[in-house]
Amino acid sequence: MKGPTAAVIVLAILPSPARGDLILLRGAAPAIQGEITRVDDAGITVRRESRDSRLIPWDRVRRVAGDPPGPWEAAVGPWMSVAVELWRARSRVERNDTTLAEPLLERLFERYRGRSHETALVVAEGLLRCRLARFDHALAVIPALEVARLRRAGVRTDSYSMLPAVMDAERALCTALAPAWLATGLLASLEHDLAGYDGKGDEVVAALANLYRRAVRQTLGSAATGASEPAPDPGDHPGVALVKLLVDCTAGEADRRRTAREALKRLVPGLPEWAEAWARFHIGLSLVGEPGIGRRQRGMVSLIHLPARFARTLPYLAGLALGHAADALAEAGQFDAAATLRIQLQKDFPDHPIHAAGPLSQRLDRVMPKHIKPEEDE
């Protein structure tokens, strides 16, 4: 006997929709429902059923909906263009498409520079990564200082977490951004920006800005002109102490240069690799600017460490070191050896900005200006 056909009815029992605002997020993240309590340049602050509040940065916001529509929807509207731009820029950086991301982040940085929240960190770090990617180390300094300031203030973000880190938290330094540049027109603009940089009360970041400005002035050959602002006193902060020694390596006073070199030599065994590279570069640059065959030879050995060991991890600084070593050989009359290094420079670092920076022979005069009195010959 054939049994009766049973009609199976599946009922989806749904809870009645909760009143409140629904924030739809980018990617696969689940939507967040709650009560919007604030909308500003940082993002959207939501108070959830658990009564805790959460700030959602703009690069994570896709859309806001409410049932019924909430009073905050009108406030969110004007910020959605910023949310879309920031999401596009951040996601492009995360897939290493920094060329298309940089123009967006440049515009956003003008709005967010000096702010102290996650959205500001996403903008500053994104712009920093873009400028490092195209070897524009002069324009990377201000974004790097902003990233250091924000991270020291406790601001955090999950953005860029899948990419290699660009900051050393202990030293508050961008690991790719040694105080070493080519003497180009951009440095004069950077010197002006650093003179007016506001560390928002962070003495460590203010001290780093002051030291980077000193390094810029030395590169431009203006270390002995104009009055410098008194440097903030950050105590014994390891990042400030390191950069001060680096800058002192090319100071105007011979005793200061010698003392800085000796201190850096003692530090080298305990430094992380990126900081060791910074130290070897500045020791080498300092020595090749001194008289005496022995000093200059030791300086070239120190410079050659960089392309030999750090070409992949610090290509900008390695290429710069190779250029200075070639220049030092030419200054010593070793033209064949200098030509060999220049060929290696072109081969190993074809995209380095050093190739468009003018004759190599001009560079040491800028970094070790004529007013500097050298140490006595050995």
CA-based nearest residue to 323, from 185, 163, 181, 202 = 181
Tokens matching residue 236: 């014994």
Q: How confident is the model over 32-61, as a mean pLDDT? A: 88
What predicted TM-score, i.e. pTM, was given to this entire model?
Answer: 0.86
Domain boundaries, the chain: 21-78, 266-368
In CATH terms, the fold of domain 266-368 is 1.25.40
CA distances to 59, 82, 180, 196 from 142, rounded to whole Å, are 22, 22, 15, 11
- Position 299: which residue type? G
pLDDT of residue 43: 94
End-to-end CA distance of the chain: 114
The DSSP element (H or E) to which 37 belongs, if any, is strand 32-40
Asked if residue 288 lies in contact with residue 301, where contact means CB atoms within 8 angstroms, the answer is no
**Max CA pair span of the chain:** 115
pLDDT of residue 65: 82
pLDDT in tens, 118-144: 999 999 999 999 999 999 999 999 999
- Percent of the chain surpassing pLDDT 70: 84
Q: How confident is the model over 145-166, as a mean pLDDT? A: 96
Tokens matching residue 182: 């080519």
Angle, CA 126 vertex, CA 120 and CA 127 arms, to 5°: 95
